[in-house]
Structure 1
């Protein structure tokens, strides 16, 4: 059931902090269509939460672990014939992502390393995100957290809450195109990709909007960092 739509970052920080009640880890998921501000929101939340840790914890009590590190490498996409659809649900290691979330919840290891995604190279990079045992709240974000089909379905069960970020369509596309240009595409290629592949993926993501715990709409945190 979708909760109240909110625009206040302070309310979101408080709600996120409240997911951790002591003891076991909590995992917050942030989803939404490409260009809607998932990574920007996650970054603001993590910075604010790190600056105000709960009693007995330090800034490392919160960690940011994006889903994007589970992109399949271009070599594998070429082998599968899927490179032209990079970013679609079947171009990720969904089982691997779910396994990481499971491992985070199990909370057995002193350090867990997660993969990241290098946007300049457009490639996943193994072991670049370290999550120490002291991290009690994990913020993860990605397109397909609410996708109700295999192999993504198990992901939702491993998230304490999922928030859906919404942004007016024209502004979302503008930001998405600018992001593609910033990371090396020509403007023509950026427009084609944003209105083609990205837009098809956005429709899949939007189908899960009503299953989010909270819809975050109209929150303007500025342009994402380059």
Structure 2
């Protein structure tokens, strides 16, 4: 059974986006609250997290910002040198230790703003210092595929989260979204199949099958 099989109306861990925003706001008391929001490729993480941030900021302006895991992609030059470029987006193609250090900086809350990297999809490269998280921002939403990945390299991240959320989307919907994404980029035929079967779908199944349980789940269909 995968996490997407568990999102039934009677499951106490499954909540709506509005209810999630209320829980996050209620849990932020003093210091920083760091919330992990994980999901498979194609689960709509970026859009979901941006809307959640906007909900929280509407209620408390300036309360919430986002740290995207994708900003910690290794550069293409590094991936090419290691022979990993075709698997870009797999767990081993991220600087997970750098993400851990960034979470520690944000947790420290030493009164200074923090510059964080952001993945630029237009050029498929992470840009350093592309977003500033203000020292005064108490809630940080961390979004990414592998934040709850049950793997020794990724497990240390979990102790840095105050709360965890998984976006649950049926596998058939994920496949359709991923296919639509690459068709939109002009891929078709063998190139499309190679992209999906050689990278995106294996990454999707890793998240579905090898993520530890989250505190809350949100159906994002």
Deviation at 1:108, TM superposition (A): 1.1
Gaps of 5+ in 2: 1-5
Cα separation, partners in 2 of 1:209 and 1:95, compared to 1, 3 Å: closer
Of the three residues 31, 35, 40, the one matched with 2:42 is: 35
In the other structure, the counterpart of 1:4 is: 12
Q: Secondary structure at the match of 1:211?
A: coil
- Provide the residue aligned with 1:224 in structure 2: none
Question: Counterpart of 1:180?
Answer: 182
TM-score (norm. length: structure 2): 0.88
Paired residue secondary structure (1:60): coil
CA distance in 2, matches of 1:210, 1:131: 28
Q: CA deviation at 1:7?
A: 5.2
Q: Which deviations, in whole Å up to 9, do the C-alpha atoms of 1:92-116 show, x marking residues without a partner?
A: 0000001101111111141100000
Deviation at residue 208 of structure 1 after TM alignment: 4.2
Query: What is the SS of the residue equivalent to 1:101?
Result: helix
Structure 2 CA distance, aligned partners of 1:20 and 1:195?
41
Distance in 2, Cα, partners of 1:117 & 1:199:
21
Give the distance between the partners of 2:113 and 2:153, measured in 1 at CA.
26
User: For 2:27 and 2:21, how far apart are their aligned partners in 1?
Assistant: 10
Paired residue for 1:118?
A: 120
RMSD (CA atoms) = 1.8
Deviations 1:17-75 (A, max 9, x none): 12311x2100111111110121121111001111110xxxxx22210111000001110
2:69 maps to which of 67, 71, 80: 67
Contact 1:163–1:215 (Cα < 8 Å) also in 2? yes
Equivalent pair of 1:4/1:215 in contact (CA under 8 Å): no
Contact 2:72 2:99 in 1 (8 A): yes
Deviation for aligned residue 1:4: 2.5
- Number of residue-to-residue matches in the alignment: 211
Distance 2:72 2:99 in 1: 6
2:32 is the counterpart of 1:25: yes
* 1:130-164 deviation line (CA, Å, top 9, x unaligned): 00111100001101111222321111110111111
Per the alignment, do residues 106 and 79 of structure 1 end up closer, same or farther by CA in structure 2, a change over 3 Å counting?
A: same
Change (3 A) 1:43 1:113: same
8 A Cα contact 2:150 2:212, kept in partner: no
Q: In 2, Cα distance between the equivalents of 1:81 and 1:104?
A: 33
Task: Summarize the alignment of residues 200-215 of structure 1 with structure 2, pairs less than 5 Å apart.
Answer: 200-215=202-217
Aligned to 1:82: 84
Runs of 5+ unmatched residues, structure 1: 54-58, 221-226
Aligned ranges for residues 27-176 of structure 1 at < 5 Å? 27-53=34-60, 59-176=61-178
TM-score (ref. length: structure 1): 0.87
Deviation for aligned residue 1:79: 0.7
